[in-house]
Structure formats: structure tokens, C-alpha cells
Amino acid sequence: MSDIAPDTLQDSNDLSYLNDDELIRGIEMLFYAYRDFTSDPDEILTKYGFGRAHHRVVHFVGRNPGMTVAELLAILKVTKQSLSRVLSQLVSEAFVVQEKGVRDRRQRLLYLSPKGETLFEELSRPQKDRVARAYRAAGAEAVAGYRKVLEDLLNAEERAAVLQAVERS
């Protein structure tokens, strides 16, 4: 646990939260939080023989129906080969449907099938519950601060586009 009292963080003149120990604690808390945030979906994914890459594809296709493969590649920042393996499995097992673009027949537009939408909900439910519990416990002001921290962790050159995508979807 941090040696900094919560009320100390309210003092705008106190920058002790920027010392090396506090930064390392923050980094470590991100690792632990990510571990626990992904634990419930990881358990669900194993029932299907899927991994976290499958989860990310299901999530972003579910949030952005009709997105192109190129758009998904840009979001995930993975190789075509890596995405192809995961996407092929999701398509062959009928979780994701690919349709040809209306204007450009070479485009592949991605949608979740009803089976994929069920998986999306199954994976997101425990995460939404976990985030809702944390938000309730922290309160609106802390949630606003948390969002600001997350926004500022994004690469500066992509921040505006990511925030726009999150608000749009």
C-alpha cells in the first residue's frame, strides 16, 4: 500500500506522488488490476479454446459493427498474420461474420453473429460488474480523475482519435 495519505494527494503543492516509489507502485497496481480485470473473461475464453486476442477482436467488432479488417488492425496494432489466425477461427466457428463492402467489394466488413453477441455479453458482464463496483466505491470525482490518468497514458499522437472512437462506440 502507498505511504501517501489520500488527503495528501488533494494538496496541489505536494508532488510526492511523482517520486520513483509511487510511480513504481502505480505501475505495479496496473499489472495487478489488469490481471484481475482479465481473470473472469480468461476463464470463460478457455471454455471456447480462445485467448485474449479473441477477446479483443470480439470486443472491438462488437463495439464497432461493420468495421473493416484494416480498421481492426489499426486498433489492435498486431500483424495481419496474427489477426488472420484469430479472425479465421472466430469466423469458422460462427462468432464473427464477414461481409463484402458495398462501395469496395475487396473490403471485409466485420460483424458479430448472434452467437458472437452472446459471447461478447458473457465476456463483458463480469468486467462491467468489476468496473461498476470500483466506480461506486471511488465516487464520481475519483472516476473523472481515473479517466484523465488513462487518457494521459495513451500515446499523444493517437489520443484524440482513441478518445473519439471510445465516445462514438
In this predicted model, what pLDDT tens digit does every residue of 35-61 receive, in sequence order?
A: 999 999 999 999 999 999 999 999 999
Reported as a pLDDT band with limits 50, 70 and 90, residue 71 is very high
pLDDT tens digits along 23-38: 999 999 999 999 999 9
pLDDT of residue 1: 46
Please give the angle made by the CA atoms of 118, 120 and 124, to the nearest 5 degrees.
120
- Residues 101-141: tens digit of each pLDDT: 788 777 889 999 999 999 999 999 999 999 999 999 999 99
Cβ neighbours for 111, distance < 8 A, ≥ 6 positions apart: 61, 65, 66, 96, 97, 98, 99
**What order of strands is seen across the sheet that includes strand 96-100?**
67-68, 108-112, 96-100
With a cut of 70, say whether residue 4 has pLDDT above it: no
Mean pLDDT of the chain: 91
Share of the chain above pLDDT 70, in %: 92
> pLDDT per residue over 155-168, tens digit each?
999 998 899 888 87
| Strands in the chain per DSSP E | 67-68, 96-100, 108-112
Strand partners, 111: 97
Q: Which of 16-20, 92-96, 145-149 has the lowest mean pLDDT?
A: 16-20
Q: Which CATH architecture is the domain 15-138 placed in? A: Orthogonal Bundle (1.10)
Coil, strand or helix at 32: helix
pLDDT of residue 11: 61
